[in-house]
Chains A and B, each alone.
Chain A
């Protein structure tokens, strides 16, 4: 009888000493992959899919333009708008914005600026080509159409 009692007592203790290690491992993973959102996105962002993706090595050279239908349609209307930093801008402001972005870079890197165009997949080509025209005006000709990977089915 006493034998059984002893056994049951020993079983109740589950070793949890490795638990912090496991959790820390997960924690470090998420810490490394995290990019803190420094701005609120005011437009819809359903990024289109593509297969031939490339990566830009130097992240400091990238400036982002968000294009899409405003989330708050009662305030900004339902036509696609452009968001730069944390405000919605008009197409005519792009040149000014590009020059501000270029000023943030060092002298040598100024003409290597990349613009990452994060456009919603429902946007039409009209606004996109207007943006491209303005970027040519601003001499920021390196453009990246941000897209997410698609698994090829062949």
Chain B
């Protein structure tokens, strides 16, 4: 009796590893690590065919034109480029130019941290102010432009905005971008970052033919 009791106390766990291995291999094979990440974009509302699109009077200087043609060549402000290194800095300087600010824009300017205020060149050829209707980034493509190049450009422009937003609230662009907005504190940071500086990225309908 006593001997039997002592023997059954030891459970044979040797095959446990085999079972676990089998399951492990199953999950290894079926796994695709979820990647629900991407560049967010809000499309404009649909156009009513009976109503022409609202005429927006924007001065040439208030539009930062980026276009990519069907040979994947960049035209930035009518200038041919081979690559887009440093584009995000140019976009940042364009947004924060404050060339011709009105009263609200001056108030906005004064609320910015010194590092961003230092970027204001107040050039009369660049944007008036970063508030709505003041500085627009226009991205134009051709139907033959590759999707990859388009995303590259959009990526750079987004980077410029996130860096501005982040700097306003004392974060880096990357930290600002990864805010989830799920807690009240994070939401407040997000709102404070983008307050009065809307992400004005206009994605134009692509051209049908060459160039």
Contacts and interface: CB of A to CB of B under 8 A. Distances in A.
Interface in B128-155: 141-148, 150-152, 154-155
Given A36-B30, A123-B147, A51 B159 contact: yes
B130 to A, nearest CB: 19
Nearest to A50: B155
A59 B35 CA distance: 11
A52 B206 contact: no
Contacts of B205: 129
Interface string B7-48: 000000110110011011001101111111111111111110
Interface residues of A, number: 53
Contacts, number: 153
Interface string A118-154: 0111111110110010011101011111111100000
Chain B facing A: main interface SS: mixed
B93 interface: no
Interface residues of B, number: 52
B182 interface: yes
Nearest to A37: B32
B194 to A, nearest CB: 13
Interface of A: 16-17, 19-20, 23-24, 26-27, 30-31, 33-37, 47-48, 50-57, 59, 62, 116-117, 119-126, 128-129, 132, 135-137, 139, 141-149
Given A51-B155, A124-B143, 9 more contacts: A20-B20, A48-B148, A48-B151, A52-B159, A132-B203, A136-B43, A136-B46, A145-B38, A145-B41
Interface of B: 13-14, 16-17, 20-21, 23-24, 27-28, 30-47, 141-148, 150-152, 154-155, 158-159, 162, 177-178, 180-182, 203, 205-206
